[in-house]
Structure 1
Amino acid sequence: MSSDRPLPVPRTAVPLGIADPVEKARAELKAALFAIEEKANVPKRVGQATDRGVAEARLFARRNPTGAIAATVGVAATIGLAVWGAVRLIAR
């Protein structure tokens, strides 16, 4: 069963069926500006990537708790060794 409602158009796309050249140019400019904003908004993109990483880590921890614990211990040991090495280099 299909509805007669048009599908929503993403902010970075130009809707089809615009006959007026001025309206089409405005729609293209608007879509281009939104696309530039999406690409240039680095904090938003970093936040989205962080959210995806956290979700994947939680899924991994649910599926493999032992592996998650081992990974956590390994990361903590690596960070500890890196800090110890940096402090040792500075103290010399």
Structure 2
Amino acid sequence: MSSDAPVPLPQTAVVLPRTAVPLGITDPVEQARAELKAALAAIEVKANVPRRVSRKVDDTVAQVRKFQRSNPALTAVAVVVGAAAVGAAVWGLVRLYTR
């Protein structure tokens, strides 16, 4: 259940997501097992916040690198502006604290 690798299926079969229940199961026990497996997979996908954050961070890093390759001057300006904003925020917080 923790593996994201798809299960090898025959060429004619439709690949189902891990969170789907296959159609055509007639045995009630097998149906219940398939539903439980799909429900647990859905819970794992939804509740695994560190994995979701990691994927989002990886996507954002890839977008930033693509932007950096296409616009190096704008990237440098963005870094300088960001550093100035962080510096101003820290300066403002220290000034408020020391007053």
TM-score interval, smaller chain:
0.7 to 0.9
Matches within 5 A, 1:6-85: 6-85=13-92
Structure with greater helix share of residues: 1
Equivalenced residue count is: 90
Long gaps (5+) in structure 2: 1-9
Q: Deviations over 1:17-36 (max 9, x none)?
A: 32222212211111111111
Q: Partners of 2:77 and 2:17 in 1: how far apart?
A: 42
1:89 is the counterpart of 2:96: yes
Q: Which moved further from structure 2: 52-61 or 13-22?
A: 13-22
Question: Residue type matched to 1:76 in 2?
Answer: A
Query: What is the root-mean-square deviation of aligned Cα atoms in Å?
Result: 1.5
Q: Partners of 2:25 and 2:63 in 1: how far apart?
A: 41
Tell me the TM-score normalized by structure 2.
0.81
Residue 70 of structure 1: CA displacement?
Answer: 1.1
Q: Post-superposition, which runs of at least 4 consecutive aligned residues in structure 1 deviate over 6 A?
A: none
What is the percentage of aligned positions where both structures have the same residue?
Answer: 59
Q: Partners of 1:90 and 1:9 in 2: how far apart?
A: 57
Q: Which moved further from structure 2: 35-44 or 52-61?
A: 35-44
Match of 2:11 among 4, 8, 22: 4
